[in-house]
């Protein structure tokens, strides 16, 4: 499985910064797939700037309905039209700050797939849940309730306590969780569950990328802070195993 190195810009970036970033990221290594997920207004300019480069563009959210009276929301077909190929769904920052439930995430997944986008569905436990020994149970429950039975797409394991903190789980902990996610995907989706890429996210940077990306069942990274510098995202992609 080719590794996917995805940058989640969150609420950062400007129109003025797109051209220089796109020019730099075009030097992407050819043994890994790369994706930039900027704020909505930057999707179309990024898609234009990266056309033909092999670097894909994605969104950070979409609505669960095809269109309608939903002030402030964006539907998946419009994201596709703007040039997005992927959409991040159910990120913990949206689950927490916008009250997104597993049911909301599942509706968004269905809307995204119907529009031709590849969803990247985020799951992950809090520090308190990990301390209580509930991490695997929480993640499995998020998966089962966020993914429709005919799911196609990508899953990202992002322990909440590792996001933006500089902390990362041990390689053994990542291996154990990714193994548990794979088992849950196969139980929920059947054979198709074996094909789903499982990314790791949470404080991935050039210095820890090689060891995290070499863990079994880690098929890429979802990168926040370090994705804002193209040289750091490129260094993470370069660290992805070949083949």
CA distance 114 to 111: 5
Tell the smallest beta-carbon distance from residue 163 to ligand 13P (Å): 4
Q: Which stretch binds ligand 13P (CB under 6 A): 104-112, 141-149, 188-196, 216-224?
A: 216-224
Question: Contact between 230 and ligand 13P (CB under 6 A)?
Answer: no
Which residue of the set 3, 63, 75, 91 is catalytic? 91
Which residue of the set 75, 158, 178, 217 is catalytic? 158
Q: Residue 144 to residues 70, 97, 112, 148, 156: CA-CA distances in angstroms?
A: 27, 22, 18, 8, 14
Judge whether 174 and 212 are in contact, CB under 8 Å. Answer: yes
Tell the smallest beta-carbon distance from residue 103 to ligand 13P (Å): 21
Question: Contact between 225 and ligand 13P (CB under 6 A)?
Answer: yes
Minimum CB distance to ligand 13P smaller for 67 or for 207 = 207
Closest CA relative to residue 121, chosen from 100, 91, 93: 91
Minimum CB distance to ligand 13P smaller for 6 or for 77 = 6
Q: Which residues pair with 122 in a beta bridge?
A: 156
Judge whether 10 and 60 are in contact, CB under 8 Å. Answer: yes
> Among 33, 158, 217, 232, which residue sits at the site for ligand 13P (rule: CB under 6 A)?
158
Q: Would you state the torsion angle of the CA atoms of residues 14, 71, 124, 218, taken in this order, to the nearest 10 degrees? A: -50
Question: Contact between 100 and ligand 13P (CB under 6 A)?
Answer: no
Catalytic status, residue 91: yes
Q: Residue 236 to residues 19, 51, 199, 221: CA-CA distances in angstroms?
A: 21, 22, 13, 8
Question: Contact between 119 and ligand 13P (CB under 6 A)?
Answer: no
Task: Enumerate binding residues for ligand 13P (CB under 6 A).
Answer: 8, 91, 158, 163-164, 201-204, 222-226
Active site residues: 91, 158
């Amino acid at each position: 499985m080719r590794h996917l190195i995805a940058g989640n810009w969150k609420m950062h970036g400007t129109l003025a910064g797109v051209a220089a970033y796109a020019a730099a990221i075009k030097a992407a290594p050819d043994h890994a797939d790369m994706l930039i997920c900027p704020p909505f207004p930057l999707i179309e300019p990024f898609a234009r700037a990266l056309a033909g480069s092999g670097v894909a563009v994605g969104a950070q959210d979409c609505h669960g309905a095809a269109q309608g009276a939903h002030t402030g929301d964006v539907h998946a077909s419009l994201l596709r039209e703007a040039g997005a190929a992927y959409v991040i769904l159910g990120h913990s920052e949206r689950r927490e700050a916008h009250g997104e439930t597993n049911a909301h995430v599942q509706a968004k997944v269905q809307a995204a797939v119907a529009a031709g986008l590849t969803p990247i569905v985020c799951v992950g436990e809090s520090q308190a849940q990990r301390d209580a020994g509930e991490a695997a149970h929480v993640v499995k429950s998020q998966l089962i309730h966020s993914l429709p039975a005919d799911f196609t797409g990508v899953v990202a394991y992002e322990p909440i306590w590792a996001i933006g903190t500089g902390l990362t789980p041990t390689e053994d902990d990542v291996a154990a969780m990714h193994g548990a996610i794979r088992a849950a995907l196969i139980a929920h989706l059947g054979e198709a569950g074996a094909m789903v890429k499982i990314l790791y996210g949470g404080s991935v940077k050039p210095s820890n990328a090689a060891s995290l990306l070499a863990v079994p069942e880690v098929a890429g990274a979802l990168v926040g802070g370090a994705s804002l510098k193209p040289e750091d995202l490129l260094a993470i992609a370069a660290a992805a195993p070949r083949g």
